[in-house]
Structure 1
Amino acid sequence: MEKKITKIAVVGPESTGKSTMAQYLAQQLDTLCVPEYARYYCQGLNNQYTLADETNMFYGQIALEDAMLSQVKNNLLICDTTLLTVKIWCDYLFQHTPAVVRHEIQHRPYDLYLLMDIDLPWQDDPLRDFPNERGYFFEVWQKELQALHANYAIVSGLGEERLKNGLAIIKQNR
């Protein structure tokens, strides 16, 4: 009998501590963290994205997550983003999301989404684009998660408090 793997996604606008949270949770829960493929992919693009780039990031994220599913520990996988990120960026940048992306989002559920709040100060990063749009993107994330009828919780707080809040939410939902 195959054991069910619980998948937890850490999502939200830019510069909200997603990667820090995902890595912390994986360490605390003794499991793996699927990194955000787009961070590797975008390093040479100089913030000039095309729809083809977004599609490539979509396939890269799927491949990375699927590869790590076979190595998961404790029947738990932490994901530093999901395919929903690709949809949000496609809609924003190109006013269109490819059907394959929309389809896969519907067929690749996560057991819990941690939506990172925008209460952290902005941290500059060459791969971040919209420091003044975090409120807008936070609302978009909430609408997208609600449209999926997703189980999600908002994670707020600064520093160690934020990390502990994320961990507490997972423990309450297991």
Structure 2
Amino acid sequence: MSDAPLRVAVLGTTSSGKSTLAAALAEHYQTLWVPEYLREFVDTEERVPVAEDQFHIAATQRDREDAAAPRAHKYLFCDTAPLMTLVYGRHYFGGFDRQLAALAATHQQDYAITLVTAPDIPWVEEGLHRESEEVSVIIDRMLLDELAARGIPYLLVSGDPAERLSQVERHLR
């Protein structure tokens, strides 16, 4: 039997509570979570990403998951996954990045559980991020369509932070 933690992908649009949920789950289960690298990228580079940045962002996210996994206990909560970067890339850049698509396809099976945060909490502007509340609705639909097309089961979590934590706890039992 492997000691590797179950990776839990926490997906959703900007300002849908992914980071809040991932941090709360890690605290509840006394394990680790991997913050979304995109936030650090935007803060460090002081700009929004361009098409050429997408693979780097997704690959760095995965590298950080791989680095955290040996130190995680039972679960590793991942605030986003390459699939989410792929969805955003398709929306913003209209193209198909083969390298990013391959990364998303190769690593999606590494996630034992996929959670999707519903965009049902108050919208909060996130600095240099270009997304708006209107775009969030589009991205949410694109994500759900992509999960369905790939046959990836997921738990849609909604409500306030306590309700979301409770929904995931029931699911993980």
Fold equivalence (TM over 0.5) = yes
Deviations 1:86-141 (A, max 9, x none): 10121011112321211121221211111111111101220432222222111111
Deviations 1:61-101 (A, max 9, x none): 12111111122212x21111000121012101111232121
Deviations 1:23-58 (A, max 9, x none): 111111121101111110111445442112222212
Match of 2:86 in 1: 87
Match of 2:100 in 1: 101
- For 1:106 and 1:166, the matched residues in 2 are separated by 25
Residues 39, 127 of structure 1: 8 Å contact kept: no
Matches within 5 A, 1:15-164: 15-74=15-74, 76-108=75-107, 109=109, 110-128=111-129, 129-164=131-166
Q: Which runs of 5+ in 1 are unaligned?
A: none
* 1:169 Cα offset (Å): 2.3
Distance 1:30 1:48, change over 3 A: closer
Residues 10, 115 of structure 1: 8 Å contact kept: yes
Give aligned pairs, total. 170
TM-score between the two structures when normalised by the length of structure 1:
0.89
Residues 21, 166 of structure 1: 8 Å contact kept: no
Q: Which has the higher helix share?
A: 2
* 1:3 Cα offset (Å): 3.5
